[in-house]
Structure 1
Amino acid sequence: METSSFPIDFIDDIVRRTGKEVGIPIKEASVFKYDVLLSYESEDNRENFIELLDGELRSSKFIPFKAENNGVDGEEDGTSELMDAAISRSRSSIIVFSRNYAYSPRCLDQLLKMFEYSTETKRLVIVPVFYQVSKDQIKMQAERLAALLPGMYKKQFEWEKVERWKEAIKGVAQLPPAVAFEGAATKRHLKLIVEAIEEKADRRPRKQQQKGQLAPLFKHKSK
């Protein structure tokens, strides 16, 4: 039976117990497949911002996951089995808030799934980016979108779901942003986002150490 057929939590438990038995403190299992999950509204992807960010992450040796390029875009509820698996196997998530992000039920479902997973498990680090939205508008935008949601979606979705969307938007919008900007994305914006990921979410191990030693589960930045 292939390892991928086992639930992630089951694998995590084995890794943690094995580490404890051999005297290695393990805070997280080394089962992460992606370093960064990118959540965004494709209609707002102007100036190839997502592609530029994806390239910057890859040049910094991160492994990103983009929903659009992995068969997730177009899912009615935004939380297909593939998306669920990507969330559970990602160390961090960059949520790119933009003008139309909260108008997409697919994005809202992804946001809710990531927010609840992060809150419950503490395994997923969420880093918000406010794309073409000023820093002063961050809180205002979150409050405005939260206020608009019931009227926008009450005829299409259950009230309980809309309320959960509202809480997820407000919860994520209150997190420290990596960057917020109104104009075109610059190289500096991209570097600030990558630096936020480096600071908030340690990288997964890249290579096993030589001579049978175990690779460290975390790679910290040099001071």
Structure 2
Amino acid sequence: MSVATSETFTAESPILPAGPFEPAEREAVYRAIHSRRDVRSQFTPRPIDEATLRRLLMAAHHAPSVGLSQPWNFIVIRSDEVKARAHAAFARASAEACAMFPEAQRPLYSALKLEGILQAPVNLCVTCDHSRGGPVVLGRTHQPEMDLFSTVCAVQNLWLAARAEGIGVGWVSIFHREDLRDILGLPDHVSPVAWLCLGHVDELYAEPELQVRGWTRRLPLDDLIYHEGWGQNAG
């Protein structure tokens, strides 16, 4: 069974079959979800070819967005100078973050590698243009933050596609937003949502790295499911 793409459909045949995937295809989707990792230290120096990067960006661009507003832009960064500025901004923010945790946790925090900015061949900043779609956007009339949520969907699409391509992705969030605005020259109506490090990887942790290192653990799913209202367990 072939997998349909956006190029498969025309104005004469706009319908997409909605049945389940074949078992092997379905398992591949779940494999990408369950084996996706936040990569910080396993990047190899092999460059990402342009065709692969284009496929990843196309996957991101096919994310759901409220009102089909597509508020994202993708800033591809390969420059050592820009990476160095971003790394310096991260280092400043990370030192501040370390001091926010209880003293007993600070040694472990300092031992964690929380970014791969300089090691990753490609850095990518995914932004949200709050003006995209005009002053009134379908679906944002009562929840204006939906443009940010839409942009995060684009990040997740890219992350899962990258896993399928053997590309590691690490999301670096320890920044002052204004530092990123300054480094990338972002206008006021555009917010940086995700700074991502991308590169080939040969191996991944079997479990999330923060779990392996003892920082936290995955919560049991059953503890997170309620029925018909907050805090209501199945009867």
Question: TM-score, normalized by length of structure 1?
Answer: 0.26
When Rg is computed on C-alpha atoms for both structures, the one with the higher figure is: 2
